[in-house]
Amino acid sequence: MSSNVAESDLVGGVPRRRIVMASMVGTTIEFYDFYIYATAAVSVFPHLFFPKSDPTTALLASLATFGLAFVARPVGSVLFGHFGDRVGRKATLVGSLLLMGVATFAIGLLPTYAQAGIVAPALLAVLRFSQGLALGGEWSGAALLATETAKPGKRGWAAMWPQLGAPIGFLLANGLFLALIFWLGHSTAEPDVDGTFLTWGWRIPFLLSSVMVAIGLYVRLRIIETPVFTRAVARGEKVKTPLAEVFRSSWRQLIIGTFVMLATYTMFYIVTTWALSFGTGKRPPDGTGLGFAYVDFLQLQLIAVVFFAGTLPLSGWLADRFGRRRVLLLVTIGIMAYGGLFAPMLGSGDISYGTMLLFLVIGMTLMGFTFGPMSAVLPELFPTNVRYTGSGISYNVASILGAAVAPFIATWLATQYGVGWVGLYLFIAASLSLVAILIMRETKDASLDTTDDHAGVAR
């Protein structure tokens, strides 16, 4: 097979396109599994896994299990980072994919509260925590797989491919749920607990993940260990405890990487999770939302996510052509300006589908430009012997500071002070990222074969 591939496109005899596919397929599966839970946490789990005495309490309890994954993700980055920096990238990525696949498939087999009582939500919480552990180890490993096997000068382009897993996983997960809702005649406004969708239909997306995991494992088992890691092992650069070493030698990079990623996470979960709840919430005087139907708003989000996916390749090319810092500085300033659009575009309380779609498209386009370079930037900040651990911790701590709290803060601000304050919140988060990017040294031409304690820090 490799005889028809140019020597420059091979890594240890394996075509680079196979390596790229292994990184993208894995992240697609991981994000698909992560997002189907997010969708079910609103439309399924409150009705089936929690007591029905108070619908609001059931929804909050369901969202609490959703948030468990964000607590688990930094733990996963430490756990899988340890083995990724000690054992290798390939074996660790296989482990993270298996954990996510088993946890997601098992959710599709769980008994409901009516069948098993308190055991049902307890098992749901354990499996959601396991999903978070897996995703905490997946992203940094996939990013390293892409960057550490990339052609010289093409790391931004190569690292863009695992980033495509996020929008593709979102489209697959939410598109499948939407199709099932239409096919099985489920009403999100008046859900029928005894209807086909809530009886067995909701389980289909979870059970189908097993097929995707089998494909992902097949692809990943056919790749090799990254040459960068292999050379580091040959030089005797492995450390016994990567976690202790990264905090000892690379604490500056941990802080910079976390805040560089902050605006990206904050914006994504404002434009997806918060926007969905705000857009489908009741209009005044009964509520503070916009009154869109759930299915209609989900369709708008799916259209907008296409722009997210479409801008990722361009962002990777730009990051290689002009550098990481310049691209991220410009897009972060764009995010700050986007924060100023919240009040004029969403503040009237009676907006058209076209205006709502435009708002979502602008946000998702900016998301593509800021998310694309991150899988090159974060690994480039850290030396080889702690790269898996360091990039994973930065990425996942940012998920707590941005993703986990953003929807709650945004909801409180919109309810108490108006939607313009949500834009101000995004502006502040982007300002913090802007400072971190200014402090960060350009890493486009940095060598990945390094144990430099100051990689990526301006001096």
Per the omega criterion (within 30 degrees of 0), is the bond before 121 cis?
no
**Is CATH 1.20.1250.20 the classification given to domain 2-439?**
yes
The answer to whether 56 touches 194, Cβ cutoff 8 Å, is no
* Per-residue pLDDT, 372: 95
Nearest to 307 by CA among 318, 319, 295, 315: 315
* Per-residue pLDDT, 1: 42
Q: Kindly give the confidence (pLDDT) of every residue in the chain, 459 residues in length, as a single tens digit, with 9 standing for 90 and above.
A: 444 555 556 666 678 888 888 889 888 988 898 788 888 887 788 888 887 666 666 666 776 777 788 889 999 999 999 999 999 998 999 999 999 999 999 999 999 988 998 898 899 999 989 998 998 898 989 999 999 998 889 999 999 999 999 999 999 998 998 999 999 988 877 888 889 999 999 999 999 999 988 888 888 888 888 889 988 889 888 899 999 999 999 999 999 999 999 999 999 989 988 898 889 888 888 777 898 988 899 999 999 999 999 999 999 999 999 999 999 999 999 999 999 999 999 988 788 999 999 999 999 999 999 999 999 999 999 999 999 999 999 999 998 898 878 888 888 899 889 999 999 999 999 999 999 999 999 999 988 886 555 555 554
Q: Are strands 14-15 and 10-11 parallel, antiparallel or unpaired?
A: antiparallel
Q: Where are the domains of the chain?
A: 2-439
| DSSP single-letter state for residue 134 | H
- What are the Cα distances from residue 244, in Å, to 141, 222, 235, 249, 457? 19, 32, 20, 9, 19
What the block records as the tokens of 271 is 């434009």
The full 3-state SS of 308-329, as one line of letters, equals HHHHHHHHHHHHHHHCHHHHHH
The answer to whether 188 touches 181, Cβ cutoff 8 Å, is yes
* Per-residue pLDDT, 10: 61
Residue 440's DSSP bridge partners are 457
Give burial (CB, 10 Å; 0-12/13-18/19+) of 445: exposed
Give burial (CB, 10 Å; 0-12/13-18/19+) of 369: buried
Sort residue 217 into left (φ over 0), alpha (ψ -120 to 50) or beta: alpha
* Per-residue pLDDT, 2: 44
* Distance in angstroms (rounded) separating the CA atoms of residues 215 and 220: 9
Q: What is the pLDDT of residues 288-326, one digit of tens each?
A: 789 898 889 999 999 999 999 999 999 999 999 999 999
* Distance in angstroms (rounded) separating the CA atoms of residues 138 and 282: 38
Nearest to 174 by CA among 295, 264, 26, 292: 295
Q: What is the pTM of this model?
A: 0.89
The answer to whether 168 touches 292, Cβ cutoff 8 Å, is no
* Per-residue pLDDT, 455: 54
